[in-house]
Amino acid sequence: MYADWASVREEIQRSTDHESVLTLSFPTSVGKEVAGSVVHYLAFMVGKNNDDNEPSSLTTDTAVKWTMQVLCHGLTLPMTDYETVRECVNIYCEWLMCLTSPKKCVPIPILEDPNSYSQDILKHLSNIFVPRRDQDQLSRQAMLCHRVLKTVQHSATTSEIITDQTWDCLLRFLLVINDVLLSPPAEKDSIGSQLCERVLSVLFEIWILACCRCFPSPPLWKTLKEMCSGWRHHEALVMQWHRVNVAFTLRLLKVIYGNSARGLQLSEDEEKLIPEGISNECIIQCWFRFLHILGNPVELSRPSVIANTPKFLHMAITSEIPIEPEEHECLKNLPNIFYRAMRSVAFVADAFLGISQRDAADVDWLMSSLSSRQGDLSAVPNTSTPPSHRRPKPPFHLPHVAKVVKDSGPRPNLSETWAGPSFAAFAPIMSNAASDNGALSPSRPTVNSLLHLLGSWLLEASLVGVRVYGSTAKDGGRGSFDAGYEMGRAQGCGTLCRIFCSHKTGESVASIYTSRFYISLYYGLQVFSDMKTIPVVLASVISNASDLLRLDLEGVHVLLPQLLSALEDLQPRFRYKHDNVDEDLDLRHASIHLLLSAICLPLQFGNLPIRAILDDQRMDPAVTFISLKKRLADLLQKMLTSETDSVNTQMLLGGLVVCVHDQALYEEAIGDQNETTDSVQDLFGMATALVCRCLTASWKTDLNCALAAMEVLSAFARIKMKNPNALHCKRIINWICEFVSSQCSRPAPAHSKDLHSMIVMAFRCLTVWLMEHDYLMQDKECLHIVLQVVELGVSGSMSQPKASSVPRFKGDKELKPVSLRVRDAAEVLLATIIDYVGSFPPPCGPESLCTLLDEESLIKHCSKKKMADSSLPDAGLPFQYFVIDGSTIVGLLEQPLGGGDETLPTVTAIVRGAFGRHAWTMQLRHHPRSFQRDPKSESVNPVISSIEPKIPPRIQHQYFPEIVQQIPPVLADQSIPRLESTMSEYQPELSKLQSLIAAQVQFEQACIQNHAKQRKPVPKCTKPSSCQEFQSARLFLTHYGFLTLDGLKTGSMSGMMPSLVRLNSSDSNLWNDLKQLDCLSVRTADTVYLFYVKTGQSKLTDILQNVTQRCSVQGQFLEFLRSLGWPVDVEEHSGWNGSVATSWKAKGSRAKDKTYPSDTGGSLYDGGQQVLYWSDVSTEVAFVVPSPSTHLSSIESEKSCIQAAGSATSSGDNSALVKCKSLSLELEGVPTDAGPPVRPKRTGRSGASAITSDVHVMVVWLESYEDHLSFPLLDAQKACQLSKTNAVPLSSSQKNINTNQTCVVFVHPLRNGLFRIHLQAQQSRVSEAVPLVDGMVVSRRLLGHLVRQTAINIFRRRQLDSEQYQPPHVRRKMKIKDIVEKYECKLTEPEFFASLFQDTIVNKQQTVAD
| 962-979 pLDDT per residue, tens | 787 788 888 887 787 777
- d(Cα 917, Cα 907) in Å, to the nearest integer? 17
**pLDDT at residue 1058, rounded to an integer:** 78
How confident is the model over 802-812, as a mean pLDDT? 80
Taking 50 as the threshold, does the pLDDT of residue 279 lie above it? yes
- d(Cα 377, Cα 1378) in Å, to the nearest integer? 83
| Angle, CA 712 vertex, CA 711 and CA 714 arms, to 5° | 65
Taking 50 as the threshold, does the pLDDT of residue 1231 lie above it? no
| Angle, CA 1182 vertex, CA 1177 and CA 1183 arms, to 5° | 135
Residue closest to 356 by CA, chosen among 432, 281, 285, 467: 432
1111: exposed, middle or buried (Cβ count in 10 Å: 0-12, 13-18, 19+): exposed
**pLDDT at residue 1305, rounded to an integer:** 95
- The contacts of residue 514 (CB under 8 Å, 6+ apart) are 500, 553, 554, 555, 556
The residue with greater pLDDT, 318 or 502, is 502
Taking 50 as the threshold, does the pLDDT of residue 1410 lie above it? no
Taking 90 as the threshold, does the pLDDT of residue 888 lie above it? yes
Q: CA quadruple 997, 1000, 1002, 1004: dihedral positive or negative?
A: negative
Most confident of 333-342, 957-966, 1226-1235: 333-342
The total number of residues written for the chain in this structure: 1410
Write out pLDDT tens, residues 1324-1344. 766 678 899 999 999 999 999
**pLDDT at residue 208, rounded to an integer:** 94
| Angle, CA 239 vertex, CA 238 and CA 244 arms, to 5° | 95
**pLDDT at residue 1337, rounded to an integer:** 96
Write out pLDDT tens, residues 232-266. 999 999 999 999 999 999 999 988 888 655 556 67
- d(Cα 950, Cα 262) in Å, to the nearest integer? 122
The residue with greater pLDDT, 769 or 1220, is 769
**pLDDT at residue 480, rounded to an integer:** 44
Indicate the pairing of strand 1337-1338 with strand 1315-1321. Answer: antiparallel
Taking 90 as the threshold, does the pLDDT of residue 594 lie above it? yes
Task: Report whether 1381 contacts 1241 (CB < 8 A).
Answer: yes
Taking 70 as the threshold, does the pLDDT of residue 36 lie above it? yes
The residue with greater pLDDT, 874 or 274, is 274
Taking 60 as the threshold, does the pLDDT of residue 1352 lie above it? yes
**pLDDT at residue 56, rounded to an integer:** 76
**pLDDT at residue 1280, rounded to an integer:** 81
- d(Cα 220, Cα 168) in Å, to the nearest integer? 8
Taking 50 as the threshold, does the pLDDT of residue 1275 lie above it? yes
Taking 50 as the threshold, does the pLDDT of residue 1229 lie above it? no
- d(Cα 1174, Cα 1171) in Å, to the nearest integer? 10
**pLDDT at residue 383, rounded to an integer:** 39
Cα–Cα distance list, 491 to 332, 457, 477, 522, 760 (Å): 19, 11, 21, 16, 48
**pLDDT at residue 359, rounded to an integer:** 35
Taking 90 as the threshold, does the pLDDT of residue 1348 lie above it? yes
Candidate from 283-292, 1086-1095, 1282-1291 with smallest mean pLDDT? 1282-1291
Average pLDDT, the chain: 81
How confident is the model over 713-737, as a mean pLDDT? 93
**pLDDT at residue 283, rounded to an integer:** 93
Taking 90 as the threshold, does the pLDDT of residue 774 lie above it? yes
Write out pLDDT tens, residues 384-399. 444 444 343 333 232 3
Task: Report whether 1116 contacts 1123 (CB < 8 A).
Answer: no
Assign 580 a pLDDT band (cuts: 50, 70, 90): low
How confident is the model over 1374-1392, as a mean pLDDT? 90
The residue with greater pLDDT, 467 or 1129, is 1129
The residue with greater pLDDT, 21 or 827, is 827
Centroid of chain to Cα 496: 28
**pLDDT at residue 1258, rounded to an integer:** 94
Centroid of chain to Cα 594: 17
**pLDDT at residue 627, rounded to an integer:** 92
DSSP state of 1317: E
What percentage of the chain exceeds 70 in pLDDT? 79
Taking 90 as the threshold, does the pLDDT of residue 942 lie above it? no
- The contacts of residue 107 (CB under 8 Å, 6+ apart) are 56, 58, 59, 63, 64, 67, 95
Coil/strand/helix, residue 177: helix
**pLDDT at residue 411, rounded to an integer:** 33
**pLDDT at residue 1220, rounded to an integer:** 43
**pLDDT at residue 59, rounded to an integer:** 84
First and final C-alpha spacing in the chain = 101
| Angle, CA 1330 vertex, CA 1327 and CA 1333 arms, to 5° | 85
Assign 376 a pLDDT band (cuts: 50, 70, 90): very low
Candidate from 349-358, 500-509, 838-847, 1240-1249 with smallest mean pLDDT? 1240-1249
- The contacts of residue 1133 (CB under 8 Å, 6+ apart) are 847, 1147, 1171, 1173
Taking 60 as the threshold, does the pLDDT of residue 765 lie above it? yes
- d(Cα 1234, Cα 1217) in Å, to the nearest integer? 15
Assign 1043 a pLDDT band (cuts: 50, 70, 90): confident
**pLDDT at residue 928, rounded to an integer:** 80
The residue with greater pLDDT, 55 or 641, is 641
Taking 80 as the threshold, does the pLDDT of residue 478 lie above it? no
Q: At what angle do helices 164-182 and 191-213 cross, to 10 degrees?
A: 160
**pLDDT at residue 791, rounded to an integer:** 94
- d(Cα 1331, Cα 1338) in Å, to the nearest integer? 11
Write out pLDDT tens, residues 1047-1099. 787 754 445 677 889 998 888 889 889 988 998 889 999 999 999 999 999 99
Coil/strand/helix, residue 1342: helix
* Burial profile 236-259: b = 16 or more Cβ within 10 angstroms, e = fewer: bbbbbbbbbbbbbbbbbbbbebee
**pLDDT at residue 1102, rounded to an integer:** 93
Which DSSP helix (H) or strand (E) runs through 1388? none
| Angle, CA 83 vertex, CA 81 and CA 84 arms, to 5° | 70
**pLDDT at residue 21, rounded to an integer:** 73
Assign 1209 a pLDDT band (cuts: 50, 70, 90): very low
The amino acid present at 1196, given as its one-letter code, is E
Assign 6 a pLDDT band (cuts: 50, 70, 90): confident
How confident is the model over 472-489, as a mean pLDDT? 63
Candidate from 286-295, 1036-1045, 1248-1257, 1388-1397 with smallest mean pLDDT? 1248-1257
User: From the CB of residue 1133, how many other CB atoms can be counted at a distance below 10 Å?
Assistant: 22
How confident is the model over 801-823, as a mean pLDDT? 85
**pLDDT at residue 1148, rounded to an integer:** 59
Q: CA quadruple 711, 1332, 1271, 1127: dihedral positive or negative?
A: negative
- d(Cα 1106, Cα 1160) in Å, to the nearest integer? 9
Computed over its alpha carbons, how large is the radius of gyration of the chain? Answer: 49
Taking 50 as the threshold, does the pLDDT of residue 382 lie above it? no
The residue with greater pLDDT, 1130 or 1021, is 1130
How confident is the model over 495-508, as a mean pLDDT? 94
